[in-house]
Amino acid sequence: MEERGANPLESMGNPWRTLDSRVAYENPWIRVREDRVIRPDGSPGLYGVLELKPSVFIVALTEEGEAVLVRLYRYTTGTHSWEIPAGGSEGQDLLEAAQRELREEAGLLAGEWTEIGDFEGLNGVADARCHVFLARGLSPSEEDGHAEEGITDVKRASPEEIHRMILSGEIKDGETLSALMIARTWLEENPLRP
């Protein structure tokens, strides 16, 4: 993966001032921090920040160029959601976490892995770094964590079907949409060779 240059927005400085912070809630997966701040307009305020360990998102491609999607029930929204395999790093190496998530969620192994980008998930309320991996050379795994994860279906979808699913609202998870866009952009710059 090529090196990225400095973000020109970083040189603009931080218009917020943090007076103090406290942990309002914590469990093994998340931490909620409450900061007492001075806002950019000079007024005092509180800012709640959700802190997550880095997460991984896997765009797993078949030989035919189809992407693997999983359908699961999202407790937070009370809806079923089509997404790419993903999950938290749980403190382990990001590639190992991506390999684990692909095994657990899709029952697949991959012979070739490439980290193709990253993004910030929900950066208005969360410190959540999301790393995107492209996985190829897929084969079945004996591991299956479908029940624990709440996964009800795994399918392979062509780029055209994914496009249709996005337009119809079948795929609406923001992190999946971000990862798919990163993969599409990366693949345009790095066409797959047989």
Residue 79 or 12, more confident: 79
Residues 181, 168 share a domain: yes
Using the predicted structure, report yes or no on whether residue 149 has a pLDDT greater than 90: no
Dump pLDDT digits (tens) for 125-145.
Answer: 999 999 999 999 999 998 765
Q: What is the pTM of this model?
A: 0.89
- Amino acid 163: pLDDT: 97
Residues 83, 43 share a domain: no
Residues 126, 46 share a domain: no
- Amino acid 161: pLDDT: 98
- Amino acid 191: pLDDT: 83
Dump pLDDT digits (tens) for 34-79.
Answer: 999 999 999 999 999 999 999 999 999 999 999 999 999 999 999 9
- Amino acid 1: pLDDT: 35
Residues 31, 113 share a domain: no
Assign 7 a pLDDT band (cuts: 50, 70, 90).
low
- Amino acid 3: pLDDT: 45
The whole domain housing 46 covers: 12-52
Using the predicted structure, report yes or no on whether residue 29 has a pLDDT greater than 90: no
> Total domain count for the chain?
2
Residues 104, 138 share a domain: yes
In a domain, 115, yes or no: yes
Dump pLDDT digits (tens) for 78-128.
Answer: 999 999 999 999 889 999 999 999 999 999 999 999 999 999 999 999 999
- Amino acid 190: pLDDT: 92
Using the predicted structure, report yes or no on whether residue 4 has a pLDDT greater than 60: no
In a domain, 3, yes or no: no
In a domain, 46, yes or no: yes
- End-to-end distance of the chain based on CA atoms, in angstroms? 20
Using the predicted structure, report yes or no on whether residue 194 has a pLDDT greater than 60: no
